[in-house]
C-alpha cells in the first residue's frame, strides 16, 4: 500500500463542484502539513465535459475567496479503477454516490464500505444522516444552472466540510502508522 492517501472528489461534469473541492482540499491539506502525504484529484460521473477546464464562474468565486487555481485542470470521467485506487471518494450528491458504488459492482476489487462518502457528511453543521436514511439531504447543488450566488453557496458548502475531511484523513493516516 502506498504511503500517500488518495482523495477524489466527484460531481457530474468535473468542471464546477468537484474541481472547487479539489482546490480547497489541496490547500487545506497543505496548511495542515499533510500536502506531501495526501493526493487530491477530481472526476465527473459524465464524460460530456471531457477535456474542458474548470468553469470560469467556479474559477472566479475561488479567486474571490483567495483560492489559487493553477489552470491545469481538465475534466475527466471517473473509471472503476479510480474508485478502487482511491482511499476516499467524495460524492457531491447522493446520485453521484450511487453511481460510484454501482460503477464498481462486479469488479474483483469492489469498494470497501466507507470508501465512497458524501462530501458534506464531513460538515459538522450539515444534517445527520442515519444509516439507511436518504443521503440526498447532503447534496451540494450544481451551481452550473444558476448565477454567481449559486457558486458562492457551493463554495461555502465545500469549505464548511473541508476541515472535517482533513481531520478524517489525518486519523486514517495515524491508524496506518
In the chain, the domains with their CATH numbers are: 5-176 (3.40.50.2300)
Share of the chain above pLDDT 70, in %: 94
- Which one of the listed residues 11, 87, 117, 154 is annotated catalytic? 11
- Which one of the listed residues 16, 17, 26, 87 is annotated catalytic? 17
Q: pLDDT-derived band of residue 1, with 50, 70 and 90 as boundaries?
A: very low
Q: Determine the pLDDT at residue 113.
A: 65
Mean pLDDT of all residues in the chain?
93
- Which one of the listed residues 37, 76, 101, 142 is annotated catalytic? 142
Q: Is 123 a catalytic residue?
A: no
The predicted-structure confidence for 31-62, as pLDDT tens digits, reads as follows: 999 999 999 999 999 999 999 999 999 999 99
Q: pLDDT-derived band of residue 94, with 50, 70 and 90 as boundaries?
A: very high
pTM for the whole thing? 0.94
Q: Is 142 a catalytic residue?
A: yes
Give the containing element (helix H, strand E) for 8: strand 5-11
In a 10 Å sphere around its CB, with 0-12 CB exposed, 13-18 middle and 19+ buried, how is residue 77 labelled? middle
Cβ neighbours of 121 (radius 10 Å): 19
Q: What region does 111 belong to: left with phi over 0, alpha with psi -120 to 50, or beta?
A: beta
Q: pLDDT-derived band of residue 2, with 50, 70 and 90 as boundaries?
A: low
Q: Is 17 a catalytic residue?
A: yes
Amino acid at each position: 500500500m502506498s504511503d500517500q492517501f488518495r482523495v477524489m472528489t466527484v460531481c457530474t461534469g468535473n468542471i464546477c463542484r468537484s474541481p472547487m473541492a479539489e482546490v480547497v482540499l489541496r490547500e487545506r491539506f497543505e496548511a495542515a502539513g499533510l500536502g506531501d502525504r495526501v493526493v487530491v484529484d477530481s472526476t465527473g460521473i459524465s464524460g460530456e465535459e471531457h477535456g474542458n477546464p474548470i468553469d470560469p464562474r467556479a474559477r472566479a468565486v475561488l479567486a474571490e475567496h483567495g483560492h489559487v487555481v493553477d489552470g491545469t485542470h481538465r475534466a475527466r470521467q471517473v473509471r472503476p479503477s479510480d474508485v478502487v485506487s482511491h482511499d476516499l471518494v467524495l460524492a457531491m450528491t447522493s446520485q453521484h454516490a450511487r453511481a460510484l458504488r454501482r460503477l464498481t459492482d462486479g469488479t474483483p476489487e469492489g469498494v470497501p464500505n466507507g470508501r465512497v462518502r458524501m462530501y458534506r457528511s464531513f460538515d459538522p453543521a450539515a444534517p445527520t444522516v442515519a444509516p439507511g436514511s436518504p443521503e440526498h439531504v447532503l447534496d451540494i447543488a450544481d451551481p452550473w444552472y444558476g448565477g454567481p450566488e449559486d457558486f458562492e453557496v457551493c463554495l461555502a458548502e465545500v469549505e464548511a466540510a473541508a476541515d472535517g475531511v482533513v481531520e478524517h484523513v489525518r486519523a486514517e493516516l495515524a491508524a496506518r502508522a
